[in-house]
Structure formats: structure tokens, C-alpha cells
Amino acid sequence: MKSSRRIPIAEPCISEREEKLVLECIKSGWISSRGNFVKEFEERFSSYIGTKYGIAVSSGTAALHLAIVALDIKQGDEVIVPAFTSIASANAIRYTGAKPVLVDSDIHTWNIDPNKIEEKITNRTKAIMVVHIYGHPADMDPIIKIAKKYNLYVIEDAAEAHGAEYKGRKVGGIGDIGCFSFYANKIITTGEGGMVLTNDDQIAEKIDRLRDQGFNLKLRKWLIHDFIGYNYRLTNLQAAIGLAQLERIEEFVRKHRENAYYYNHLLKEIPGITLPPEAPWAKNVYWMYTILINEEVLGITRDELMKRLEEYGIDTRAAFLPIHLQPPYRDIYKYENYPVAEMLGRKGVNLPSGNTTNKEDIEYIVSALKEILSSFYR
């Protein structure tokens, strides 16, 4: 069945408020990384998450890279990271010459399994990078306990988890450093962009300087650079969009959760489909609504199902391919296996779940899904 209807996997929800602030920014002449909107965005977003400092940067990957550099992690060091995550998590570690040490996922939350972390710690381990996958918080208490036991830093990759909560605390403000992405498909967006959050004065100052070519902040007018830094700044134009988006973040979080519950209601009786998790201690923001496909029950592969949904005009994405199966990392981890991560990567499919997705879209998607599956059940 070919359809002229198109339902995107995720798209930003842009209003007149963004237009107003961007126009204000343009008229002011402050369109690069200097300007009031950057500072205000940093202050408001860090306040929302609950940290003292926010440093706006050019992307979520830049945020992770700066976090690792600021902690003086370098070649020969190791950072523990889940095998099931975006490749950006591992790449940011590799940029410094450090090695990502992979840990399998918890079958119940799809996040890093706290019970499998300690066995991967060596005398070269410097940090644990936690990824709150698809908007579901990782189980932070046991991870923090392990980190304290071995004197390790905790970096939260919260790129997908704006507004998600662990036992009532917003993620990104629980570890030593939290990193967010504001890419176009995230819960709030600046087009491209990210932010580093921390409560540590020295870390905040170092990241502030690292993102801006290592400027000596006291002697900026003389262009003195105390160390090699990066051009990872966020523009005032992007921050203007971010401010307008931030004003609606609770609306967007509520929309994602309501859509997820509606999906759950319509899909819960279909055998062979596993719904996304939400632990009792978690507030999942369902950045992506991800289901697992049991090929043996449904009689159709995940990839074939995605292809059929495409014919209905429904955009989908496969779940993350685990790090050890990615081409740049295969040789490094060729003798390692992570069965839960591999299962998630093989069975997972993301259904449309952006800020513009509505109940009518979900009804159409589920109807198409049922129609496709009706001819495949074994």
C-alpha cells in the first residue's frame, strides 16, 4: 500500500516565539557566540535541571568531548560506557585517545547494567559515562556508589533525556557532569547545539575556556590562550531559539509521555511486541518511542516491518547498533559479546514520537502496523 501521507520520526515544533527572539537577535547585531541570549539560555536551562553552571556548546558530542577533556582523561585512560548507545558516546571518548570500555545493558531499563560495571574497572579507569537511553534514566544510585568506591567521575550523557527524572531528580544534574544535545529531533532544540552542566566551579571554568580556544578569561582582550582549546561555541541565534523552546519544555515532555501511554494502550495486546520500559523510580520522557519486534512470533523481521511501514508513509528508525558492531570499532571489540545490547539493536524500532506527533498519527501508525502484521502472524 502506497500512501501520500507522511509521518516523520521526529520534527521540531517551532512557533512565533522562536521567530520573535531570533528576529530580536538579528536586529541587535549580536548573532555569533557573544550576546545576552547565550548567557540567559545557560542560566535558565541549568536552573531547570538543577545545577549551578551551564556552558552552552555547539553540539551534544562537543559537550561530551569537553567533559572528558575537562576531567583530564587522556591516552591510556579508560572510560566505562554502555555498549548500547549512539556512537557519539564512544567517539567523544576516543577523541582524547582514551578507550571506551563497554558494558552490557540491563534488560529491564535498556540502560547500562550497574551489576556489570565493577568487573570492568581497572587501574586505568577514570570515569563512568552513563547514557539515559531514549529518555529513560539509568539506575544512578548503584552507579554513584561504585564511582565513589573507586574514586571515579560520573558523566551523564543526557542527550536524549531532557526532563527525565531519577527518583524525583532530573537527570543531567546527578553525576559530576551532565551533557545535553539540542539537535533538531530532541525534546527541545537549537537546530544544532548542546550544553554541559556541573556544580563544580573549577570544571565549569575549564569547560568555559575549552569551548572558546583556551582564552585567558582575565586577559581576553589581548587574545592570550593558556592552552589548546576548541571552537565549540553556541551562537546567540541558536540560544534565542533555545530560550523559546525552553519556555515550552514541560509541554513537550508531557506530550511525549502522553503519546507513549497512548501507544502503549493501542499496542499492549499485540503478541510479539515489547513496549518501552518505565521503572517505578523513573520518569521516562520517551524521546523515542521504541518497541522490540519478536520475529518468531510475528513472522516478519524488524527491517521488513520498517520497509512495509514506509509504504504507508510512516518514518521509522532502527535502534542503535551497539558500539562493538560499528565498523570503526569492530576490530577493537571483535572478541567481545554483549547479548542484551545486541538483542536491543537487532529487535528495536523507533516509531514516530516527535513534538508534532499527535493521537491521530498514532492511531494511523498502529492501524497500519496491525494491517501489516495480520498477514504475517505464524
Q: Which residues are catalytic?
A: 186
Read off the C-alpha cell for 278.
Answer: 518505565
Give Cα 42 to chain centroid, integer Å.
18
Q: Tell me how far CA of residue 255 lies from CA of 165, 192, 209, 281, 367, in angstroms.
A: 16, 22, 37, 20, 21
d(CA 69, CA 63): 10
Read off the C-alpha cell for 136.
Answer: 529513560
Read off the C-alpha cell for 44.
Answer: 535558565
